[in-house]
Amino acid sequence: MVRERLSLTDVIRALSEYQGVIYDKEDAQRFLSLKNLAKDNSLRLISWLLIFDKISTEENRAKELYTIFKRYTDELSKHFQTNLTNPLESINDAKISRVIKVDIDRSIGMFKRLTEQLNLNSDVIKNAHLHAVRILTLLMLSYNDMSYVQGYDRYVLVVYALTLLFTSTHGLPSEFAEALTFQLAQEFIRLSNLTGLLKDVPDSQNYFQKMDQCIKVMYPKLTKSLEGSELGSIHYALRWELLMFADEYSASKLFLLWDEIILNKANYNEFIFYLCISHAMQIPLGYPGEILMEKIQTYKNWDVIKAIDTTHSLMKKQNKNNFSKAKAYICLGAACGLAFCSYFLAH
């Protein structure tokens, strides 16, 4: 049985060395606000769990985490029974099952890159594919409002890299990382609201025209270089936003960026909008003969701290009363729909 691999005593032992460091949500916010690429990842995980209200103050934390694990294993037994190693068989929609598998197959390379940077060996990550599939399948089965959208796979695998680092550091089973990822990944999914964005299909042109106008003011040379190509922010910032920059950074930089996303979850639409602009402002102009859009789409030499600082600076300057939340929704256009989304996620 999966549950028998973890005891409350194990959780208490793992948390013991962090006593008195992150006591409550205010401590978590202070810790996450530190712009330090070397932040302790166990404290980061505790802080994420606190900010998303998965755990509370220090004296209750071990029991709460153990309860999360027990409830998750109960859900596994309930929904999968004898199909623990073949969870996709529990989804009635064969198309969705196939898409989930293909997406995890593709994204596992990103996950391995992150875990190599975190010094996690092949034995530690051996169940990553199965666990990611189980998490996504269970999310679809557990929540009627959470139909699968491409991009969820990245959220799950990034969070799983962090939780797996914690469990491997403290000799805990990877299923505990799986349970914690189930809790946290759904928060990123709801924060991104990809399903709602695609279903509502608002005016995407307004959103990206607004972004293009801001970039024109902040970085006119980039706008001028793209003139005549009929290309703009939708052709690169769309992917950034859909994936929360998951494909853009190393593990330490991505975790730092997601710290900021979590801290700004109350005004996520505004934050992600200006975060895209702050990244566009870092793109170097092409040399003669270079195709600028290809350079933009493949550029990876980001300064994450500069991007964060620029984002906050832009947010302070803009008139909050004029920023329409409705305009901050991303959509892909009624005619393009999910096929358009799939293209940008796959390239």
Cα end-to-end span (Å), the chain: 40
> How far, rounded to the nearest angstrom, does the alpha carbon of residue 323 sit from its chain's CA centroid?
24
pLDDT for the residue 334: 32
pLDDT for the residue 271: 97
Query: Is the pTM here over 0.85, yes or no?
Result: yes
Q: How many CB atoms lie within 10 A of CB 92?
A: 8
Q: How many CB atoms lie within 10 A of CB 298?
A: 8
Q: Which CATH architecture has domain 197-346?
A: Orthogonal Bundle (1.10)
Residues of the chain with CATH 1.10.472: 197-346
d(CA 256, CA 159): 13
pLDDT for the residue 244: 96
* Residue type at 7 in one-letter notation: S
CB 45 within 8 A of CB 11: no
Mean pLDDT by 10 residues, the chain (347 residues): 82 96 97 98 99 96 98 94 88 92 96 98 97 96 87 97 98 98 97 67 74 95 87 91 95 99 96 97 83 90 98 84 46 37 47
pLDDT for the residue 343: 42
Q: Closest Cα partner for 149 from 189, 205, 179?
A: 189
pLDDT for the residue 227: 83
CB 154 within 8 A of CB 181: no
Q: Closest Cα partner for 254 from 262, 246, 243?
A: 246
pLDDT for the residue 342: 47
pLDDT for the residue 345: 52
Which H or E run contains 11?
Answer: helix 8-16
Q: Closest Cα partner for 46 from 21, 66, 67?
A: 21
pLDDT for the residue 328: 46
